[in-house]
Chain A
Amino acid sequence: MLLRSGLIAVWLVWASTGMAQERIPVVTTTSDLRSLVEAVGGDRVAATSLVPANFDAEDYQEKPQDVVRVKSARMVVRVGLDYDLWFDRVLAQAARPEIQRGGAGYVDASYAIAVLEVRGLNVGPGDGHAHGSGNPHYWLDPKNAEIITGNILETLARLDPPNSALYEANRVAFLARLGDKLNEWESKLARVRAVPMVAYHNSWPYFARRFRLEFVGFIEVKPGVPPAPSHLARIIATMKARGVRIVIREPHEPERDVAFVAARAGASVVILGTSVGALLRANDYISMFDANVEALASAAATR
């Protein structure tokens, strides 16, 4: 009798911890969104991202395991704005209505973002993007994390109402920490404000807008097409005329073309990451900005 009740007690403890540990499986396309989902969901979510850090998320080839992961997810979060179009194929293969576009567990994180550089199709070539619906690198403005985490919170609270207060508290705490950090970054980058820069790919409009930075040109005119010599000559001439000393490259972008331009114009190359995990110390959303801000500020200081 004693043994029996003891066993029941053990079972109850085991079952209740088991239930507590049954976390909501979430799949995101990029590591940045995963980090933001974790910031809101805390230990109530088990988030995985599909694109490995340092891969070009616009050019990703999905794998069979990705479909398996999405199939077992209760919530999916994507960048949207035509950035991760391949995710539509994964969703179609997973064939679960609750995480399809418009389903209860589907989050397009770009919802309600103030989008920059919207161009109808074929309006003005030459900004390095083929996106008709605007520049998709909006998560690089830390202020936009408010909107993104808002979208995530709404869906999480809908899927798991008992814990909605917890999610809300998590989000508020995260945004408070981010707000402090934003002040720190802004003061660190104050020095960079007067420094014109060039980037390989036009990934930085939101970042530039938030920190008041100036980009005078981009090396890559169209994604996947090597730049023409006259374009490079123009960029180098602009860089010389404007005294550009910093060229920004992401880790996955071609080293040689960037080094060539930088050497011709007497500038130095700074490597920044646009996703969590792209740089060594950037293992969550906030430390990604820490690493980028640090790299930029020290490059501007040593020039």
Chain B
Amino acid sequence: MTEAFWFLWPAFLVAVCLVGIHVYFGIQILRRGVIFVDLALAQIAALGATVAFMLGHSVQSAATYGYSLVFTLFAALLLAFTRQWATRLPQEALIGVIYVVAAAAAILLIDRAPQGAEHLKQVLTGNILTSGVKDLAFIVPLYTGVGLVHWLLGRRLSDAGTFVWEFIFYASFGVVVTSSVAIAGVLLVFSFLIMPAAIGVLYATTFSRQLSVGWIAGTVASAAGLVASYFFDLPTGAAMVCAFGFALALAGIAYPFVHGDRRRALSGALLALRWGGSLVLAASALQLMAAPRADQPLLDVAEFAVPSLRNLYFSKAEAVTFADARDYAERYRIEAERLNESEIRNRSQGEALDDYMVRRISSFLKSYGEMRKGEQFVMNEVRARARERVRWIAGPALLVLVLLSAPLSWRQLRWRLPKIR
């Protein structure tokens, strides 16, 4: 536990800083309705960095940052202009165009540069896990400065106004996004920007309350994502994005319970749950009867969670064959692993194996792989046959269960039947 803490706290601090500035911008962006503007700006900044790279500047030099900045400011200028056309053309269209063209132009450029692809990847897919105190020293003053400017200019920036204010808004946003994307990556920055802000807008009306709700939601979701990524062995950025999505979904589900009639919300939720469950059950029953050999997602999940469910429909012989095949498959896997391990150890220790022995080992490994596949085929075949056998019993039984659980009232059915006749 303490180890996890020592490993994660720098990333958590960085996440808190990013949440701090991005929730603010997120609320503004939701208000303006330019959801994907951050992707366009990040891609433009990456294009600028690529140009700098082509001209021979190193990845983390001041010149590279300067090029990114100039490109971003140019994009901000474009975006400020498009506000004027917004009555004729949705601004999102132009944002999409900027994104696509900048991405394509960067690909054309990196094709000519050695290491270009990797460089572009580094600009666009940061890894928040490997960020640290050094990044904080850069972003804390930067974000404080941007925040101060926005606080001083106040309403002039938050309400879409004249060309100059629009330009200042997009330019400062571009500066923030350029730095944050390099730290956390495009996906995570988009999550920081939109999801906590959406929760804030959902639950509060005044700007300061929206901001506080967003900050709390963003911090909690970041912490949850980081911890989950540590304990479930998941890539950090992707785990955090999913944690943000989960938080937003929870907020959405809870909304009718918080605002509005709680009893109605509860009964509505129950109804939806019963309908959903019955539909899934009915679809599984039909799938089982129509195609017993195909994938049965519901049955497969249930059997994965509770393997003893198989005993309900396997005959004794089938159960024995299935268990045998599973044991053999596992044994082959372990044997193959052991062989591989010993070969790997032998590379640096003991008497070196000659090519003949290595060939023998790889032919054994191949055989183990094939045998394991064979056992897996047996397992699938046994299960498919058992399902084929019981489909006319289990399928209708499931359908009866559907009729009992579905929120249909029998009286309604009786009423409708004569009408059909």
Q: Identify B369's interface contact among A63, A116, A123, CB under 8 A.
A: A123
Q: Are B343 and A120 in contact (CB under 8 A)?
A: no
| 5 closest Cβ pairs, A-B complex | A120-B369, A260-B130, A214-B348, A118-B365, A114-B358
Q: Hey, which chain A residues are within 8 Å of B7, CB to CB? A: 229, 232-233
Given A54, A120, A254, which contacts B121 in the complex, CB threshold below 8 Å? A254
Checking A121, A228, A259 against B235 with a beta-carbon cut-off of 8 angstroms, the contacting residue is A228
Interface residues of A in 244-259 (CB under 8 A from B): 251-257, 259
Contact status A117-B117, CB under 8 Å? no
B372 interface residue, CB < 8 Å from A?
yes
For the complex, is A115 an interface residue (Cβ under 8 Å from B)?
yes
* B311 on interface, CB distance cutoff 8 Å: no
- Chain B contact residues: over half helix, strand or loop, or mixed? helix
In the bound complex, what is the Cα–Cα distance between A118 and B344 (angstroms)?
Answer: 12
Whether B115 is near chain A, meaning CB under 8 Å from some CB there, is yes
The CA-CA distance from A229 to B352 in the complex, in Å, is 35
Most buried by B among A53, A229, A253: A229
| B259 lies within 8 A of chain A by Cβ | no
Query: Could you say which of A116, A123, A212, A214 contacts B368, with CB atoms under 8 Å apart?
Result: A123
Whether a CB of chain B sits under 8 angstroms from the CB of A68 is no
A231 to B129, CA, bound (A): 12
Q: Count how many pairs of residues, one from A and one from B, have CB atoms less than 8 Å apart in the complex.
A: 127
B343 contacts which of A54, A116, A132, A213 (Cβ < 8 Å)? A116
The answer to the question of A134 belonging to the interface, with a C-beta cut-off of 8 Å to chain B, is yes
Q: Could you give, for residues 340-376 of chain B, a 1 whenever the CB lies within 8 Å of some chain A CB and a 0 otherwise?
A: 1001100111001001101100100110111011000
Among A121, A193, A233, A251, the residue within 8 A (CB) of B348 is A193
Instruction: Judge whether A301 is part of the interface by a CB distance below 8 angstroms.
Output: no
Q: Hey, what's the 0/1 contact readout for B111-135 against A, CB within 8 Å counting as 1?
A: 1001101100110011101101000
Q: Is the pair A123, B235 in contact by a Cβ cutoff of 8 Å?
A: no
The residue that B118 contacts in the complex, of A116, A134, A229, A252, with Cβ under 8 A, is A252
- How distant is the Cα of A212 from the Cα of B344 in the complex, in angstroms? 10
Chain B, interface size: which category?
35 or more
Contact of B358 among A116, A208, A259 (CB under 8 A): A116
Nearest chain-A residue to B8 (Cβ)?
A: A229
A254-B118 contact given A119-B369, A123-B372, CB 8 Å threshold? yes
B348 cross-chain contacts in A, Cβ below 8 A:
193, 208, 212-214
Asked if A161 is at the interface (CB within 8 A of a chain B CB), the reply is no
Residue among A134, A231, A259 making CB contact with B362, cutoff 8 Å: A134
Could you tell me the distance between the alpha carbons of A118 and B340 in the complex, rounded to whole angstroms? 8
- Are A229's CB and B229's CB within 8 A? yes
B residues contacting A by CB (< 8 A) are 3-4, 7-8, 11, 59, 111, 114-115, 117-118, 121-122, 125-127, 129-130, 132, 226, 229-231, 233-238, 333, 336-337, 340, 343-344, 347-349, 352, 355-356, 358-359, 362, 365-366, 368-370, 372-373
Complex: how many Å from CA A251 to CA B111? 16
Query: Can you sample 18 A-B contacts with CB below 8 Å?
Result: A114-B358, A115-B359, A120-B336, A120-B370, A121-B369, A123-B368, A213-B348, A229-B129, A229-B236, A230-B229, A233-B3, A251-B118, A252-B115, A256-B127, A256-B130, A257-B130, A260-B130, A260-B132
Rounded to whole angstroms, the CA-CA distance of A253 and B130 in the bound complex is 15
Given the known inter-chain contacts A118-B366, A255-B122, please indicate yes or no for A124 contacting B333, CB distance below 8 A: yes
A179: interface (CB < 8 Å): no
Query: A52 CA to B356 CA in the complex, in Å?
Result: 34
User: A208 contacts B347, CB within 8 Å?
Assistant: yes
Chain B residues lying within 8 Å of A114, measured Cβ to Cβ, are: 355-356, 358-359, 362
Complex contact A119–B365 (CB within 8 A): yes
Q: Which B residues are in CB contact (< 8 Å) with A213?
A: 347-348
